[in-house]
Amino acid sequence: MHPAAHPTFWHDRWTTGQLGFHEAKPNAHLVRWWPTLGLAANARVLVPLCGKSKDLAWLLAQGHTVVGVELSPIACAAFFAEQGLEPTRTEGPDFVTWSCGPITLLQGDIFELELPGSFDAVWDRAATIALPPDLRARYGPQVRRQLKQGGALLIVSFVYDATRRDGPPFSVPDVEIQALHPGATLLDRKHDNDDARYKEAGGVTEVVWRATRT
């Protein structure tokens, strides 16, 4: 089993500050494509494996109610500290809930999340690509169950030569995204030869998808 399948792998990343997956500003794909989902301002949005992402604050600024799921207490605490917010922290059987107004972070395992039909949309920039194949096969159906009928997923995947580089982030072929999310529509595809992290793999292609729970 790949090390990234174990919670300790991610806890160690946060403890040692190995946060190459963290972006210093809201993701460009989110800013460009989120408005095309046509969501109401008061939509309820799920962000799996959210870390301390700036995307959470961007989604809040659109008027949404946002729920992130994150393993690391370091990440949860850092998000609220960086946003100047004082959360209420509540221990539960499966999750520690960090909450302040319209933002809630559930500290725990995404596979324990059972809020079926609770969300209008999912923003997945860093969840699918963070999981090795066996966990991706579980994650896809798990996250779709949390959506209302007709709810939308906006997903970013990476594609590169996986024989020359190992994840995370993992290379996720288009056919796998389409199998995990039947009817997924390709929105954008951009190849980058210059990212030093993927030089040995011949560069990386970022792919943006939209899917709907039917």
pLDDT of the residue at 35: 97
CB burial of residue 190 (10 Å; 0-12, 13-18, 19+): exposed
Residue 142's identity, in one-letter code, is: Q
Region 182-208 average pLDDT? 94
Residue for token pair 């494996």? 49
Say which residues have a Cβ less than 8 Å from residue 10's Cβ, sequence separation at least 6.
4, 71, 72
> pLDDT-based confidence at 19, cuts 50/70/90?
confident
> pLDDT-based confidence at 114, cuts 50/70/90?
very high
Region 59-64 average pLDDT? 98
CB burial of residue 86 (10 Å; 0-12, 13-18, 19+): exposed
Average pLDDT, the chain: 95
Task: Give per-residue pLDDT as tens, 139-168.
Answer: 999 999 999 999 999 999 999 999 999 999
Residue 206 has pLDDT above 80, yes or no: yes
Residue 1 has pLDDT above 90, yes or no: no
CB 127 within 8 A of CB 154: no
Domains of the chain: 3-16+24-212 (3.40.50.150)
Region 19-33 average pLDDT? 92
The whole-angstrom separation of Cα 27 and Cα 25 is 6
pLDDT of the residue at 18: 86
Residue 65 has pLDDT above 90, yes or no: yes
> pLDDT-based confidence at 195, cuts 50/70/90?
confident
**% of the chain at pLDDT higher than 90:** 92
Residue 20 has pLDDT above 80, yes or no: no
